[in-house]
Amino acid sequence: MRNLNSQKVPVPTLERLATYLTALAEMSDRSVQTISSSDIEMLTGINAAQFRKDLSYFGEFGRPGIGYDVEELRSRLAKILKVSRTQPVLLVGAGNLGSALVGYPGLRAQNFHIVAVFDNNYNKIGRRLWDLEIRDVADMAAANRELQARIGIIAVPSNAAQEVAGRLVEAGVRAILNFAPAPLKVPADVVVRNVDFVQELAVLAFHLSEEEEADPELVRGIL
């Protein structure tokens, strides 16, 4: 998250918008026409006041005493998050994580389409990852002249991440989701979000109280 430029809208608000959007898509699938902010709270676990506050950044929504029209709210949020139409995404790294991402059903449901996958391993190039042919990372810029993707995902080992970031930027990508636990240097007009699994677990571990921590001595005593 640390490379994200400061914006008027707080990043946690944007994260929650995506959550509302997922809930609205579900409601739409079930043909629900109108929802209240307490419905949203029940569906997302985000409290109703927070929901109203988050929407307030983007104008007027809903009607007092009636609630929110599901389709209207959905389409406005999708427009705000620029997912009202298909958003093509480049993936670099055809390993386990890359495979998990291409196979992740939620991405396509929310209009993010991974349109190409790249790797530098000649044993992988030319093979398929799900329905995509794995392409040579060296061909990225040429490929993206047709694909016109502006979002890229880095799912390669740390030591390759910076080079891949450079290639993505060169190919025209302006937003990068980085799964490599390595800081990326990118031009000021490129935004980066970092997802670091170790970091996530470390924050959780911190919140374990001392007495609840697993004690290897104790475990050995039991066995």
Site for a second copy in 116-155 (CB under 8 A): 146, 148-151
Half-sphere exposure of 50 (CA within 13 A, CB side): 17
- Does the footprint of a second copy cover residue 38 (CB under 8 A)? no
- Tell me the one-letter amino acid at 204: L
Sign of dihedral through CA atoms 7, 10, 8, 25?
positive
Q: How far is the CB of 65 from a second copy (least distance, A)?
A: 26
Q: How many residues bind a second copy (CB under 8 A)?
A: 85
Q: How far is the CB of 24 from a second copy (least distance, A)?
A: 13
Cβ proximity of 111 and 78 under 8 Å:
yes
The residues in 177-206 that bind a second copy, with binding defined as CB under 8 A, are 177, 181, 183-185, 191, 193, 195-206
Could you say which of 28, 34, 36, 44 contacts a second copy (CB under 8 A)? 44
Could you say which of 33, 56, 86, 121 contacts a second copy (CB under 8 A)? 86
Residue among 44 and 120 whose Cβ is closer to a second copy: 44
Q: Which residues contact 186 (CB under 8 A, 6 or more apart)?
A: 3, 165, 169, 176, 192
Location of structure tokens 């190039």: 125
- Does the footprint of a second copy cover residue 53 (CB under 8 A)? no
Strand partners, 178: 154, 194
